[in-house]
Amino acid sequence: MAQQDTTLYHLRTVEVFGKPAEVFASGSRVTTLDSTFLRTYTAGSIADALQSRTPVFLKTNGPSGIAIPAFRGTSPTHTAVLWNGLNISQPALGQNDMSLLPLNSIGSIAVQHGAAGATYGSGAIGGAILLNSPTQLEPGFGADVLQEVGSFGRYFSSASARYSGRKVSVGLGGYYLAAENDFSFRDYGRIGGPTRQQDQAQVAQHGFTQDVSWQLSDNTRLALHGWYTHADREVPPSLGAANTNAEQVDRNLRLMTELNHSSNWGETSVKAAVFNDYLLFTDNNNHSTTDINTYQVQAEQTYTYARRWSLRGGLNLQHFEADVQGYGRQVKEDRASAFLLFRYDPSKRLDLSLNLRQAFVKGYNPAPAPTLGANWLMLQHDQHQLNLKGNVSGSYRVTTLNERFWQPGGNPDIKPEQGWSYETGLRHRYTLGTLQLESELYVYRMLVDNWIQWMPVTSSYWSPRNLQKVRSQGIELSSRASTTLGDWQLAATGAYTYTASEQVKAYEGNQELNSQLAHVPLHKAQLGADLTFRTWTLLGNLTHTGLRYTDNSNASSLPGYTLLSLALHKKITLGQYQFIASVRSDNVTDRAYTVLENMPMPPRSLAVGLRFVIP
Amino acid sequence: MKKITRFRSYLLSAAFAFGAVVFTSCSDDTNNGPAGEYARNGVLISNEGAMTYSNASVSFYSHDSKSVENESFKKVNAPLVLGDVLQHMAQQGDRLYLVMNNSGKVVVTNANTLKAESEIAGLEAPRYFAALNDDKGYVTEWLGYDPATYAYSNGRVAVVDLKTNTVTKTITVGVKPEQLLIAAGKLYVTNSGGNTVTVINTATDAIETSITVNDGPNSLALDRNNTLWVSSSGIEVWDVDEDDNWFVSEEKSTPGSLAKINTTSNSVMSTLTFSQNAPAPGKLTPNLNGDKLYYVFNNKVWVQDVNATTLATKPLIDRGTYVAYGFNGLGIEPASGTIYAGKATDYASNGWVVRYNPQSGAAVDSFRVGIAPNGFLFR
């Protein structure tokens, strides 16, 4: 039992300061996705969860489901994605597709809103998504099998198994997804707008995850995490555009090993990783491959003194080898960064964090990224708690390889981006018996210099350009209430975001100043409800995405849309085993909508599933 | 330095993707004019839009209200989508023909109301349209793009029955056929991927002959003497410098030219060759009398007196360092001679129409239109 006690002890040292993602993020907004939601919604992808439960805006190129996240009016390249603490953003595109992994392969998802370059490195300008592999604390064997069948030829299967012993724990997971996406839509690209079946949105995906953890000694743990995903997706043409049979194949292999050791000097963590990201895009006129190997090492040391302060120092090294057809040659790049994160709790009611990161990239001189944050428990009265938070952070993004090397269009003179983010917020908590009410209000302002935007400079190719200064500012409001009433467990969430993202200074010309950037909705609102009655669970999500402009001159726009999704689960217990039957419907109101211009999205869909759980 | 030519045709095609200049005299019935929102005293503007986004549009500028209306096609026909890449807009009788390059079709609307009526489907990468009369029209099409070599095979001219809006015959011509023009019963087709102008008899729709000109013929115009002028781009060669930056090598490129063709003998009378190597002349546009031809060369607008034996030495419109696609479209208003330029800022935001004084070449005023304006129809 000694190991377990040690593990628990180590966990406790971290818990002093709250959840791991929040330790060095005083005063900034970090939300952890509700684990009940993740466990019930296992057939969905990470993108689905972010879409329905966070203010993150997911840009999707249509029904094939490629979904890239954007925070607070920034673009998808301004989102850092970390997997077990390592930045996994692919260096060619600088963005990550959130539809590649289903929720069953992920232990937890946390979302960092706003800049956090000091903590997460390049790209964390708008925010960061923190994915963690499942950790197994309960000993024994467990397994889970799920089969779902849905509208438009959708089949989803997943299976996972885990074993946790005294020293070793092993987890394995796999999934398979096939979807025809052959839904009907009105083709307004043709005279008369005939009803047509989508025939260019077929999807085939599969993936595996593997997590092994080995307690070498009382103080030392070794873990291996692996992730392989393969996606073959057709990309539908816009209404009215010729079908060029566009197809995208993504293959991502991510392997990492992590060694954790605790001593009198604190916690030592060394991570080493190898990633391979392969992308093949083909259509009638193109055959383009991107094949990138990333080697990454990160070492960090965390020292925690009592419950007063904690200091973490670390070093991150990255080496990229990019074989990209579009570059015409192999490109190699090394990046390094050093960081120092400091958390200080001068009193029980106040915590502060001061973080600093300096990146080193050949040919660039990234500015240091500091963070200063404070979280003050301003009021504690009866059942009420009110926190005041504030945070100032710097962030940066090293230009992607495509931005520099792609031919034609790559811009060797492109400058890296640099941002400052200021935010303040209030967090209110109210507890009365089983009733819990938690509300948050944040206002932020973000200034990004040399914001990079790809623009079609000629009719045949795009090129990245630096906008001199972009200002994004907005309000985020969210509330969550939960209670237990007899056999009922009720939870409701509501959120609203207002995002004004504008170019405020331009290198040349002035015609696009002070206009909302394309594809950034001013308003986004969500309502969610989780109702459980004995063995029944009902999940409901209502999301409203407001009007988005499709161009930087704000001359054309796409109307807002409201989507409702519902899922009903019934748990059947057979001895120690469980069956969970589910019925799920997306776009319940059968709304005709588009996320991007002239790209019709699926109408109402229905899916039924059966899940077998060995706990 | 190694010579890289595989991008050449790609970049040439990029350069040639612009330039839809349509000139029609259709205003001799002002007293008893046709009825319709867009039959008014004004200008229709075609906006190319960004490729694959299907956001091409039509704008209308009214001389009476001195105001511009954008998204006119959408306003009349929503939720119908015009299509992807409006390459060329031309009028024949009461019909407007909108060549949608990446939609593989020509959208046919009423010219006075813009109400969509029909479409000519089954085309591959259509470029330009010309009508012989209300019964017959021609569309140039690029064919056989090979992504490995960036090269095209021979293109074709589709013969269209304008009563049924169906393709009745196709005629194989040279590589990348661009602008076409009908003069004295003959159809002249510029084969921009080669060095010929194909001549087709419009009575038989058979090829009569082919006229050899300088490399890259891309636009043509008929002057008052019935002489056919053809602009040729020459060959643009790209090179790579020590820092791996691409640039146009003036040294290795060949000069563009204007050729004068006798439409009776179908032979080249003379060729006026530019002294500078790389820039490509294009968008030849005559004025109402046909005594002056306007064209774009080196991001400036030049005028050619049709009786002059040499090229102009100074441009009429010179904006100095100017946006790359400041003259994405060129039009001459018949009555006033005012020069209309379609200025594309980029392909993500709306462009402008800038009007210039025909004598001084000075910018008069401007108004904002759709993405990448490339052609004008004066009502």
Mind listing the pLDDT tens digit for each residue in A275-330?
999 999 999 888 899 999 999 999 999 998 888 899 999 999 999 999 998 888 89
Interface test with B, best of A459, A507, A593 (most B CBs within 10 A): A459
Whether A16 shows a pLDDT value over 80: the answer reads no
Sign of torsion, CA A31 A35 A36 A41? Answer: positive
Whether A84 shows a pLDDT value over 80: the answer reads yes
DSSP state of B80: S
Minimum mean pLDDT among A199-213, A337-351, B6-20: which range? B6-20
pLDDT, averaged across chain A: 89
Are A193 and B347 a contacting pair at CB < 8 A?
Answer: no
Confidence of residue A5 (pLDDT cuts 50, 70, 90): very low
Tens of pLDDT along A464-494? 888 889 999 999 999 999 999 999 999 999 9
Residue A609 · residue A104 · CB < 8 Å: no
Which chain A residue is nearest to residue B53, measuring alpha carbons? A238
Chain A contact for B70 (CB, 8 A cutoff):
yes
Whether A273 shows a pLDDT value over 70: the answer reads yes
**pLDDT (average), residues A11-20:** 46
Sign of torsion, CA B309 B313 B319 B325? Answer: positive
- The dihedral region occupied by B134, where left means phi > 0, alpha psi between -120 and 50, and beta the remainder, is alpha
Letter for the amino acid at A262? S
Element (H, E) at A288: strand A286-305
Are B18 and A239 a contacting pair at CB < 8 A?
Answer: no
Judged by DSSP in three states, B379 sits in coil
Own/partner long-range contacts of A154-158 (Cβ < 8 Å, ≥24 apart): A154/A178, A154/A179, A154/A180, A154/A181, A154/A605, A154/A607, A155/A179, A156/A43, A156/A102, A156/A607, A156/A609, A158/A42, A158/A43, A158/A102, A158/A104
Low-confidence ranges of chain B (pLDDT < 50): 1-32
Which chain B residue is nearest to residue A283, measuring alpha carbons? B147
Letter for the amino acid at A299? A
Q: How far is B175 from chain A (nearest CA, A)?
A: 17
Q: What is the pLDDT of residue B6?
A: 40
Q: What is the pLDDT of residue B30?
A: 40
The whole-model pTM stands at 0.86
Cβ-based contacts of A555 with chain B (< 8 Å): 70, 349-350, 368, 370
Judged by DSSP in three states, B11 sits in helix
Chain A contact for B364 (CB, 8 A cutoff):
no
Listed residue (B202, B47, B213) closest to B137, CA to CA: B202
Are A240 and B103 a contacting pair at CB < 8 A?
Answer: yes
Residue B350 · residue A551 · CB < 8 Å: yes
Residues with Cβ within 8 Å of A531's Cβ and at least 6 positions away in sequence, in order, are A488, A489, A490, A491, A537, A538, A540
DSSP state of B151: B
Q: How far is A406 from chain B (nearest CA, A)?
A: 11
CB contacts under 8 A, B 305-334 vs A, are: 324-325
Domain boundaries B6-378, CATH class: mainly beta
| The two structure tokens encoding residue B34 | 């046709």
Are A456 and B347 a contacting pair at CB < 8 A?
Answer: yes
Listed residue (A303, A429, A432, A325) closest to A23, CA to CA: A303
Strand locations in B124-235 (E): 126-131, 136-141, 154-161, 166-175, 177-183, 186-191, 196-201, 206-212, 217-222, 227-232
Tens of pLDDT along A29-83? 988 887 777 877 778 889 988 887 888 888 887 777 788 999 898 988 999 999 9
Listed residue (B158, B163, B113) closest to B138, CA to CA: B158
Q: How far is B195 from chain A (nearest CA, A)?
A: 23
Cα distances (Å, whole numbers) of residue A471 to A95, A329, A517, B264, B328: 21, 36, 10, 64, 32
- Distance between CA atoms of A395 and A450, rounded to whole angstroms? 12
Chain A contact for B46 (CB, 8 A cutoff):
no
Are B102 and A408 a contacting pair at CB < 8 A?
Answer: no
Listed residue (B29, B50, B66) closest to B353, CA to CA: B66
- The dihedral region occupied by A114, where left means phi > 0, alpha psi between -120 and 50, and beta the remainder, is left
- Distance between CA atoms of A121 and A300, rounded to whole angstroms? 14
Residue A570 is part of a domain; what is its CATH number? 2.40.170.20
Tens of pLDDT along A510-522? 567 888 988 899 9
Listed residue (B109, B44, B113) closest to B83, CA to CA: B109
Are B84 and A285 a contacting pair at CB < 8 A?
Answer: no
Listed residue (B193, B178, B81) closest to B138, CA to CA: B178
Are B100 and A240 a contacting pair at CB < 8 A?
Answer: yes
- The dihedral region occupied by B111, where left means phi > 0, alpha psi between -120 and 50, and beta the remainder, is alpha
List the strands of the sheet with B3-4, edge to edge: B3-4, B237-240, B246-249
Strand locations in B26-94 (E): 42-47, 57-62, 67-69, 86-92
Residue B156 · residue B144 · CB < 8 Å: no
Domain of residue A268 covers: 2-614
Are B116 and A191 a contacting pair at CB < 8 A?
Answer: yes
- Distance between CA atoms of A202 and B95, rounded to whole angstroms? 39
List the strands of the sheet with B42-47, edge to edge: B67-69, B57-62, B42-47, B373-378
Cβ-based contacts of A284 with chain B (< 8 Å): 145, 147
Chain A contact for B82 (CB, 8 A cutoff):
yes
Q: What is the pLDDT of residue B18?
A: 35
Comparing CB atoms, the residue among B53, B246, B349 nearest residue A407 is: B246
Identify residues of A whose CB sits under 8 angstroms from chain B CBs. 186, 188-191, 193, 237-242, 284-287, 407-408, 412, 453, 455-462, 465, 509, 511-512, 518, 550-553, 555-556, 597-598
Q: What is the pLDDT of residue A411?
A: 87
Are A556 and B71 a contacting pair at CB < 8 A?
Answer: yes
| Percent over 90 (pLDDT), chain A | 67
- Distance between CA atoms of A69 and A60, rounded to whole angstroms? 9
Residue A237 · residue A243 · CB < 8 Å: yes
Whether A586 shows a pLDDT value over 60: the answer reads yes
Which chain A residue is nearest to residue B117, measuring alpha carbons? A191
**pLDDT (average), residues A249-264:** 95
Comparing CB atoms, the residue among B55, B107, B244 nearest residue A597 is: B55
Are A188 and B370 a contacting pair at CB < 8 A?
Answer: no
Chain A contact for B103 (CB, 8 A cutoff):
yes
Cα distances (Å, whole numbers) of residue A507 to A403, A413, A451: 18, 14, 11
Judged by DSSP in three states, B213 sits in coil
Counting the structural domains of chain A, the total is 1
Are A193 and B80 a contacting pair at CB < 8 A?
Answer: yes
Cβ-based contacts of B117 with chain A (< 8 Å): 191
Q: What is the pLDDT of residue A509?
A: 60
Are A408 and B11 a contacting pair at CB < 8 A?
Answer: yes
- Distance between CA atoms of A325 and A406, rounded to whole angstroms? 9
Residue A92 · residue A77 · CB < 8 Å: no
Letter for the amino acid at B111? A
Minimum mean pLDDT among A112-116, A461-465, B140-144: which range? A461-465
CA angle B224, B228, B234 (to 5 degrees): 135
Residue whose entry in the numeric block shows the structure tokens 């791996």? B244
- Distance between CA atoms of B119 and B127, rounded to whole angstroms? 15
Letter for the amino acid at A47? A
| Number of residues that this document lists for chain B | 379
Is the complex ipTM higher than 0.85?
no
Chain A contact for B143 (CB, 8 A cutoff):
no
